[in-house]
Structure formats: structure tokens, C-alpha cells
Amino acid sequence: MPEVAVFRPDDGRLARAGDYLESRGVTPVLDPMLEVAPTGNAPRGDADYVVFTSKTGAELVADAGWTPGDARVCAIGESTRVALETEGFGVDVVPGEYSSTGLVNVLRDRVGGLRVEVARSDHGSDVLLDGLTEAGAYVHETVLYRLTRPGESGVSAARAAAGDLDAALFTSSLTVEHFLDAADERGCRAQAIEGLNRAVVGTIGEPTRKTAEERGIEVDVVPAEASFEALADAVLDDL
């Protein structure tokens, strides 16, 4: 069966991704490139809008007992919305385009002179902060968690370098960067990139595609929907 690398955090998402790939008749190469380290911080309580960019952030603030008060809650992405609602938070804004740019476009005419709290990881894009600031909002960022690379990661880089990967599924720019860091550690960066370029590579979103291509990785598939299942389906259809 084809071998497909997946880089999700090993917090349940990696196992679910592996199960999904197996259900599609391929062999998953499970190689977590992200590890979540909570900071213990919570969003400030005086904002007019609070923006969440991930399922992880939603779960962390719920565990901390945070409540939005009178703030309007914004979610980037369907999985973030579902996670917030599962934790009991009402969601007021979900952009049709699941990206920082999409949310900025939705909020641009609403946030002038208002306080906007952005609660996310330490690797968030400046696009969101800059766009909201340019729209006239008073923007504050709270880092809910840090994303690091697990020390044992890198089996996929070795398999790519050996020509044994048929496809790879990158879900963020950071997974691309951590994959290449792992390849560097093994002394096989150039070979790993060559191996990926002989495989089918998919990314979630244009920023991830741009990151990959700037580093020499040819991207074959970017699905219209920003979800792991859509990414896997698109890549496997191409494969």
C-alpha cells in the first residue's frame, strides 16, 4: 500500500489521522512534528472581540475556566468553531475563508476603535494582528501555548530521503519547517526534499504552500476546505 506521512500532534489528532488514512486504504507514516506546551495564560477579560485560531486554544481556555463575558467570539476554521461550541462557548463570527485574511476581511468594518483579543499559539501569523490594527482596532495577543518539535520526530524525513514516501500531508507552515529541521539533524535535507518532490505533497492553505515552495518543496495539492480530511482526500485522489 502507498505510504503517506502525517505530522499532527500526538494528542489524539495523530491517531485519528492515522485511522482515517487506513480507512482510505493507505499506510500512514505517523511522525508528529508539533508538541503543545501550554503557557497557563488566559485571554484578557475587557475585549469587545476575542479571536481563537485553533481547537487547542479553545480547549485550553475552557480548562482554565475562562469566560468571554460580553465579548463576541470569533473562530477561524470549522474545527475551532466546533471545539468552542463543544466547550460551551457561543461563536459569533466564522469567516467563510478559514484564514487570518478571511477573518480580517469580515471584521474590517466592525472593529474600528474596539478592543480585539487574539488568543493563539506562539507561531501565529502577523497577518491577523496587522490587519486588525490597520482596521483601527486596539489589538492584544495572548499566547495560550507554544509549539515545539518532539525530539523523536523525523522518521518521515528519513523515509522521504530513501524514496519510500508516496505522499506527505503538511497542515501548517511549522510542520514544514520542523520536517526540514528533522532532516537537517539526520544530514539528509537535500535528499528528503528530492524524495518529497517525487511524491504527492499536499498543504492546508496558501501560507503553508508558500512556506514549502520557498524551501524547495513542490506542492501538488491545496484543498479548498481547510481540514485534515479534505487534505487527505485531495492528496489520495491525486495519488
Classify residue 219 by its DSSP letter: P
Question: Tell me, what's the pLDDT at 11?
Answer: 86
For residue 40 the three cell numbers come to 497557563
Nearest one of 143, 140, 115 to 129, comparing CA atoms: 140
Mean pLDDT by 10-residue block, N- to C-terminus, for the chain (239 residues)? 94 93 96 95 95 94 94 92 95 88 93 97 91 97 96 94 97 95 96 98 92 97 89 95
CB-based burial of residue 20 (10 Å sphere; 0-12 exposed, 13-18 middle, 19+ buried)? middle
The overall pTM is greater than 0.85 = no
Classify residue 221 by its DSSP letter: B
Question: Tell me, what's the pLDDT at 78?
Answer: 86
For residue 80 the three cell numbers come to 475551532
Strands (E) across the chain are located at 3-6, 27-30, 35-38, 49-52, 72-75, 115-121, 138-148, 167-170, 200-203
Question: Tell me, what's the pLDDT at 206?
Answer: 86
